[in-house]
Amino acid sequence: MLKRFLPNEHVKSIFEIHPEALREKGIKGIITDLDNTLVAWDVKEATSEVVQWFKSMKEHGIKVTIISNNNRERVSVFSEPLDTPFVFSARKPLSKAFKTTAKKMNLKKEEIVVIGDQILTDVLGGNTAGFYTILVVPIVETDEKITKINRKIERRILAYMRKKGKINWEEK
């Protein structure tokens, strides 16, 4: 059961995820979280670095879709200027949004990576749906109320997994 909480990879930010490396692994699509993965949860629009990251993925033929538990307005304000498909109110970690997104991307599970900053939503949801998962360090340490609760649970899970030798990366 705890295996579902373990990401396949852990990186400090999306900027450590390069399209060439993804293509070498046969990855053709990214399902990514928004808040604290791409930008801080209280930042409305993509930074110039994020815009460049999306552009680089597109130039290498990697499709990107944003899925978020946040509301339509929040996700569309961010995604539409990037000309990027999105799913709002995704109800992560339930796997339906992940599977529906993969179908819309017209890609197999093995060709998609799920990227996010939360173990209880992004990693658990991606793993349950059968995708390769990458956990990123949250951009900022502040969170909305519900996420603060998740972070406390995540810290306990990570501490247990670290104690059992399942993970070896350092906390931020």
For the chain, helix, strand, coil in percent to 5 are 45, 15, 40
Which pLDDT score, from 0 to 100, does residue 149 have?
A: 74
Name every residue whose Cβ is closer than 8 Å to that of residue 99 and which is 6 or more positions away in sequence. Answer: 129
Angle at 133 between CA 131 and CA 136, to 5 degrees: 155
Fold for the domain defined by 2-163: Rossmann fold (3.40.50)
Residue 143 has a pLDDT of 60
* pLDDT for 172: 44
Task: Please name the residue that has the structure tokens 């460049």.
Answer: 52
Beta bridge mates, 35: 39
Rounded-to-integer distance, Cα 34 and Cα 147, Å: 13
Strand, coil or helix: 9? strand
Chunked mean pLDDT (size 10), the chain, 172 residues: 84 96 97 95 93 97 97 96 96 95 96 95 95 92 68 77 71 49
Looking at residue 169, what is its pLDDT?
Answer: 64
Contacts of 22 (CB under 8 A, 6+ apart): 30, 60, 62, 113
pTM (whole model) above 0.95: no
